[in-house]
């Protein structure tokens, strides 16, 4: 699975923003309080959606549930100008009840459909475990373990391929062209 440079860079900034909000100068966990404060400033923050989406997207931290992970995985490869609007994805992503008013505010703004898609992708990336966990090499030549690892890798590749195909089929069904295979 390929992640676009746009989303890779933006996700790093998003994570840094969450990290900055997480602790006060004494090391106390203040994320919930700071996110609540930011959510109260949504009328101001929407003015920053295009220039600093990572600073606004944090108001949607833990606000989404993803019904079609394969679709989200496929979207990770899209650049900023290729992303579909929220109306295309809203059936596949549930917004938490507490975030509904925030989403409505964002959607009422120019660029809100694009921004909400970006916010959902950033949250999806934050909750997605690494595809390949690095394993410590203990120096043993464990052929059975190696065989299991290769079988697991093959299963992961087959699963990823099936998910990608399902996502591409869904995107075609939404009116997008099928992506060229490279």
State how far the Cα of 110 lies from the Cα of 88, in Å rounded to an integer. 17
Query: Does an H or E element contain 94, and which?
Result: strand 93-95
Beta-bridge partner residues of 87: none
**Residue 80, CB-side half-sphere exposure with 13 Å CA sphere:** 12
What share of the chain in percent tops pLDDT 90? 57
What is the reported pLDDT for 62? 94
Please count the structural domains in the chain: 1
Whether the Cβ atoms of residue 8 and residue 78 lie closer than 8 Å to each other: no
Whether 83 maps to a domain, the answer reads yes
Over the chain, what is the mean pLDDT? 81
50-54, 94-98, 142-146: least confident range: 142-146
166 falls within a domain: no
C-alpha atoms less than 13 angstroms from C-alpha of 13 in its C-beta half-sphere: 15
What mean pLDDT is predicted for residues 121-136? 62
Residue 166 predicted with pLDDT over 60: yes
Please return the burial class of 120, using the count of CB atoms within 10 Å of its CB with bins 0-12, 13-18 and 19+. buried
150 within a domain of the structure (yes/no)? no
Question: So what's the pLDDT on residue 178?
Answer: 67
Stated pTM of the model: 0.70
From 26, 11, 27, select the one nearest 126 (Cα to Cα): 11
Nearest to 71 by CA among 177, 156, 172: 172
Domain membership of residue 136 (yes or no) is no
Per-residue pLDDT at 156: 59
Confidence of residue 27 (pLDDT cuts 50, 70, 90): confident
User: Is 178 domain-assigned?
Assistant: no
- Summarised one tens digit per residue, pLDDT across range 129-158 is 643 222 233 344 444 444 444 454 556 566
Q: Print the domain residue range for 107.
A: 5-131
| 34 lies in some domain | yes
- Answer whether 113's CB lies under 8 Å from 50's CB: no
Segment 30-46 shows an average pLDDT of: 94
């Amino acid at each position: 699975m390929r992640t676009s440079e746009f989303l890779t860079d933006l996700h790093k900034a998003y994570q840094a923003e969450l990290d900055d909000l997480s602790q006060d100068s004494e090391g106390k966990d203040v994320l919930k309080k700071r996110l609540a404060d930011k959510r109260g400033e949504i009328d101001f923050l929407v003015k920053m959606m295009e220039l600093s989406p990572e600073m606004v997207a944090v108001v949607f931290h833990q606000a989404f549930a993803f019904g079609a992970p394969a679709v989200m995985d496929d979207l990770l490869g899209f650049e900023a100008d290729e992303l579909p609007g929220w109306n295309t994805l809203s059936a596949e992503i549930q917004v938490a009840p507490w975030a509904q008013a925030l989403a409505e505010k964002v959607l009422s703004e120019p660029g809100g459909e694009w921004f909400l898609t970006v916010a959902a992708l950033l949250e999806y990336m934050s909750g997605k475990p690494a595809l390949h966990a690095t394993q410590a090499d203990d120096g043993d030549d464990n052929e059975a373990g190696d065989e299991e690892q290769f079988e697991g890798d093959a299963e992961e590749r087959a699963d990823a391929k099936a998910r990608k195909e399902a996502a591409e089929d869904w995107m075609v069904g939404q009116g997008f062209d099928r992506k060229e295979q490279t």
